[in-house]
Amino acid sequence: MKKYVLLMLTLACSAETPRADTAQANVTPTGTSAAADSSGSAVPRRSARPSILFAGTSLTAGLGLEPDSAYPQQIQRMIDSAGLRYEVINAGVSGETSASLLGRLDWLLREPFELLVIETGANDGLRGIPVATMKANIQQAIDRVRAARPQARIALVQMEAPPNLGAVYTTGFREAFVDLARTNGVTLLPFLLQDVAGVRALNQGDGIHPNYEGERIVARNVWKGLRPLLR
């Protein structure tokens, strides 16, 4: 717990601000090419395989790692090894909050997907954004996805708030994800940084983002909850 507190304190002092241009540029289809829309931004090219879209923060984008080492790309290799016909699209954006996820949701909804994995909230916690606000943003995102893609399934990644914000906040933060999953009937995936957060040997020099060894653990955390959803 002490290591995790130190990690989150470091995070709180170095929270990223999302860049407007990364909201589109960081969408990376794995194993396929990308076309450009009228604005010149990369748009995933449609594939014969159903898509799994990962929408998240720098933790999903794989900040500090080679592109093919981010956990969504590792999930793609696990999918391929399992003989499953899915294509992973990494739509992680550094510094994203639940509010900025809403801001780019229409763009993400341009392409069809069978499964959406939402990893958000980490930067909300770093900024001390009220839990009710974060929860309302995620609920709105789920509602909009369901309206636009009624057949798509949704998985929500459990995230944790910095312990220095107090027990009331951190408990409410954790329970918000549980409640959202239960209320909306979506799958709650394990805490993304389980067994990685606060472990120096598993993180980059910033003490924030997993290194290559830590990212492999993150990928296994996600795969554990994701695998049963893949038909």
Whole-prediction pTM value? 0.83
**Structure tokens that stand for 217 in this block:** 């653990």
The secondary structure of the chain in percent helix, strand, coil, rounded to multiples of 5, reads 50, 15, 40
CA 97/CA 136 separation, integer angstroms? 12
Going from the first residue of the chain to its last (231 residues), give the mean pLDDT of each consecutive group of 10, the final group possibly shorter. 42 42 45 36 60 97 96 98 96 97 96 96 95 98 97 97 92 98 98 94 92 97 96 75
Sign of dihedral through CA atoms 100, 102, 108, 113?
positive
pLDDT value of residue 168: 97
**What was the pLDDT predicted at 46?**
55
In the chain the first and final C-alpha atoms are separated, in Å, by: 37
Rounded to 5 degrees, what are φ and ψ at 184?
A: -100, -5
Determine whether 219 is exposed, middle or buried from the number of CB atoms within 10 Å of its CB (0-12, 13-18, 19+): buried
pLDDT for 48:
80
Q: Are 14 and 208 in contact (CB under 8 A)?
A: yes
Q: What is the pLDDT of residue 58?
A: 97
71 φψ region: left (φ > 0), alpha (ψ -120 to 50), beta (else): alpha
Q: Determine whether 195 is an active site residue.
A: no
Catalytic annotation, pick one of 51, 98, 124, 209: 209
Task: Catalytic residue, from 51, 58, 98, 100: name it.
Answer: 58
**Of residues 21, 37, 68, 206, which has the active-site annotation?**
206
Q: Which long-range CB contacts under 8 A does 176-179 form with residues at least 24 apart?
A: 176/121, 176/131, 176/134, 176/135, 176/138, 177/121, 179/135
> Could you confirm whether 68 is annotated as catalytic?
no
Q: What is the Cα–Cα distance from 180 to 168, expressed in whole angstroms?
A: 18
Instruction: Give me the pLDDT at residue 162, please.
Output: 83
Catalytic (active site) residue 58 = yes
What CATH number matches the domain at 2-28+59-229, 2.170.190.11, 3.40.50.10440, 3.40.190.10, 3.40.50.1110?
3.40.50.1110
> Can you give the pLDDT at residue 30?
54
